[in-house]
A and B are shown apart, each in its own frame.
Chain A
Amino acid sequence: MAKARTQTIGAVRRTFSPWTDPSATPLIRFENVVKSFGAFTAVNHVSLDIYEREFFALLGPSGCGKTTLMRMLAGFEEPTEGRITLAGQDLTGVPPYERPVNMMFQSYALFPHMSVADNIAFGPKQAGMGKGEIAARVEEMLALVKLESFAKRKPHQLSGGQRQRVALARAVANRPKVLLLDEPLGALDKKLREETQFELMDLQQSLGMTFLIVTHDQEEAMTVADRIAVMNHGVLVQVDPPATIYEQPATKYVADFIGDVNIIACKVEGCFGSDLRLATSLTPHPLQVTHSGDQKPGDEVWLAIRPEKMRISLDAPDAAAGNCFEGEIWDIGYLGDLSVYHVELPCGTRIKVSQPNLSRVVERPITWEDKVYVTFTPHAGVVLSR
């Protein structure tokens, strides 16, 4: 049963990409939205389309404007400039209690003086549903979050994970067009958080709702979202599916914010079709990199390479192996499944290389102060001009 459901979800997620379809109409449109608080601009000319049934993540450090953007959609803040539309309806001036959008709060904001059932029934009650209908809806929601036996409890009699579920059930009880989740898993411990991420994805699929999640946790955004918008200083830096964000970051900022990366300052020496030759102070030999950009010789660029995209070896590679840095192991981070080697190059720069620990016993382990060779292919890195 569970297996069958996962498969259909897999099929849906595999083909789901309305943002690539020019004929698709977005459900939510942020049109040139600005929000200022006095002299401080929290959101700066953001235009963003979110499609129906999408699981969309707003990702960024605290203070980047992601929460403000979400609160404007919920109606708790009004844009200073621009407008937001939902299913074609202009939301300007529509108070929060008249928007078909519900929010799950970071603090959960469960009403402490009401039982779990009353908390969940709150939305349907305000919507004017009949008594029997409300009871049925509460039952359904409790079943959805597997808290049937907790209906009579007060919020303070629940664990953090249970409260998170109640908050979720309460937020979807009115069947909103869009569910907003403000750091929904921030208060949970790591293991529970990972479980809940997958439950959220299943829930989103089975409810067929559009989810908009705000988070500062890049792993969480990568796991749950169809698309991620990376924000910084009130501006959208990049909006793309997780794999694109990770493998094709648009800027140094995105490359650095998502995962680990080595950013190497280079100068373009020459272009040969799709190949670039880059000069860097880290090695006397120029680097060969595949790139389809419009760089010209003489341009200042940055090469961003993920630690896992490079190989580390104690033996000198043959000349054909491609790009190579020589250095000395300066530090090792052993994480169990993989080890992260910090390699100090002769010029003093340190780069990070990670390698999976595939076997339990290694004949010649790489250790501190070993002389090593770091190699990578022309496809391993991304050339960034910003």
Chain B
Amino acid sequence: MNRGPTWFNVTSLVLGFAFLYIPILLLIIYSFNGSRLVTIWGGFSTEWYVALLHDEQLLDAVWVTLRVAALSSLVATVLGTLAAIALTRYGRFTGRSVFSGMTYAPLVMPEVITGLSLLLLFVAIGFERGFWTIMLAHTTFTMCFVAVVVQSRLVTFDRSLEEAALDLGCSPAKTFFIITLPLILPAVISGFMLAFTLSMDDLVIASFTTGPGATTLPMRIYSQVRMGVTPEINAICTVMIGFIAIIVLIASIATKHQETVRRREEQAAAQ
């Protein structure tokens, strides 16, 4: 077997990464552009980052986005985890496949449709649109991602651990909190991170469900770009990329750590 990388592998790797990251790299570089014109390099400068800090509207949008993301991902994590438990644990209850299908539907549903249907619902029940409607909408569409992540952990969970706890005199509720939850926590956390980033990135559903006074960062950026791209937008995008990169990194490290721990335990068990 050929162990070294072939020219084909190297080329496809370089092309692939170039395709993915050159646009982002350009954006980051131009965020340090001293010129007001986006496409002309006017020397290195951090003035747009300073300008950001004085843009009230932009900072307000950041604050709304973070609050929506934090709250909706928290609720989505709780609901998604509960859904995952129901789907893996309660064997063959009536309507199980309907329930699981309905849980995963938002995963494949076009965002426009999710957004539109939520908008119709909020209008129909007379819910005043704004921060809370975005929060609710984000909860519904990120919940299924949490459920998928947690469920994949639960199917490999050794149920005799829970039985052992019950056997030793621990009540079912307490067993969940001191045995099950600590062991599936890495998956729950990655689910939370995923929900958080999805909520932060979302433009379509937020645009449908928002009302006056609640503008998220993607919405603000999008509306500003329509009037022309400014280096300030590049700067805020760079900050967002950095923020999301950090979250994804933490999530993947947590998952990896959980994987290695599990593999080590399996290996030890096989001895």
Contacts and interface: CB of A to CB of B under 8 A. Distances in A.
Mutual binders A and B: yes
Interface of A: 74-76, 95-98, 101-103, 105-107, 109-113, 122-123, 126-127, 155-160, 163, 170, 174, 187
Interface string B229-271: 0000000000000000000000000000000010011001101
B55 interface: no
Contacts of B169: 97-98, 123, 126-127, 174
Nearest to A102: B167
B164 to A, nearest CB: 4
A160 B266 CA distance: 11
B166 A95 contact: yes
Contacts of A187: 269
Contacts of B12: none
Contacts of A170: 164, 168
3 smallest beta-carbon distances between A and B, as pairs: A126-B169, A109-B164, A123-B168
B119 to A, nearest CB: 44
Given A113-B183, A156-B265, A158-B268, A122 B163 contact: no
A353 to B, nearest CB: 40
B160 A109 contact: yes
A76 B163 contact: yes
**Counting chain A CB atoms within 10 Å of each CB, which of B160, B169, B171, B172 scores highest?**
B169
Interface string B166-184: 1111111000000100110
Contact of B168 (A106, A126, A159): A126
Nearest to A158: B268
B166 A112 contact: no
Contacts of A159: 268, 271
Given A111-B179, A112-B265, A160-B269, A105 B164 contact: yes
A109 B168 CA distance: 12
Interface of B: 158, 160-161, 163-172, 179, 182-183, 261, 264-265, 268-269, 271
A320 B163 CA distance: 63
Contact of B158 (A97, A109, A113): A109
A173 B170 CA distance: 14
Contacts of A106: 160
A179 to B, nearest CB: 11
Contacts of B166: 75-76, 95-97
B144 to A, nearest CB: 28
A110 B261 CA distance: 15
Given A111-B161, A111-B179, A156 B168 contact: no
B161 A122 contact: no
Nearest to B265: A156
A74 B164 CA distance: 10
A295 B63 CA distance: 93
9 contacts: A76-B166, A102-B167, A111-B165, A111-B179, A123-B168, A127-B169, A155-B268, A156-B264, A170-B164
A45 to B, nearest CB: 26
A97 B170 contact: yes
A101 B183 CA distance: 26
Contacts of A122: 165, 168, 170
A336 to B, nearest CB: 28
A181 B3 CA distance: 49
A158 B271 CA distance: 10
A109 B179 CA distance: 11
Contact of A107 (B158, B182, B261): B158
A155 B183 CA distance: 14
Given A76-B166, A105-B164, A187-B269, 18 more contacts: A95-B166, A96-B167, A101-B167, A102-B168, A103-B167, A109-B158, A110-B164, A111-B165, A113-B182, A113-B183, A122-B168, A122-B170, A123-B169, A126-B169, A126-B170, A155-B265, A156-B265, A157-B268
A321 B171 CA distance: 68
A107 B179 contact: no
**Counting chain A CB atoms within 10 Å of each CB, which of B182, B269, B271 scores highest?**
B269
A122 B161 CA distance: 12
A187 B265 CA distance: 15
A230 B8 CA distance: 64
Contacts of A98: 169
Nearest to B170: A126
Nearest to A154: B265
A105 B165 CA distance: 11
B160 A112 contact: no
A122 B265 CA distance: 20
A107 B160 contact: yes
Contacts of A158: 268
B159 to A, nearest CB: 9
A258 B53 CA distance: 82
Contacts of A102: 167-168
A352 B190 CA distance: 62
B166 to A, nearest CB: 4
Contacts of B165: 111, 122
B39 to A, nearest CB: 55
A126 to B, nearest CB: 4
Nearest to A180: B167
Contacts of B171: 97
A132 to B, nearest CB: 19
Contacts of A111: 161, 164-165, 179
B178 to A, nearest CB: 9
A127 B24 CA distance: 59
A102 B168 CA distance: 6
Contacts of B160: 105-107, 109
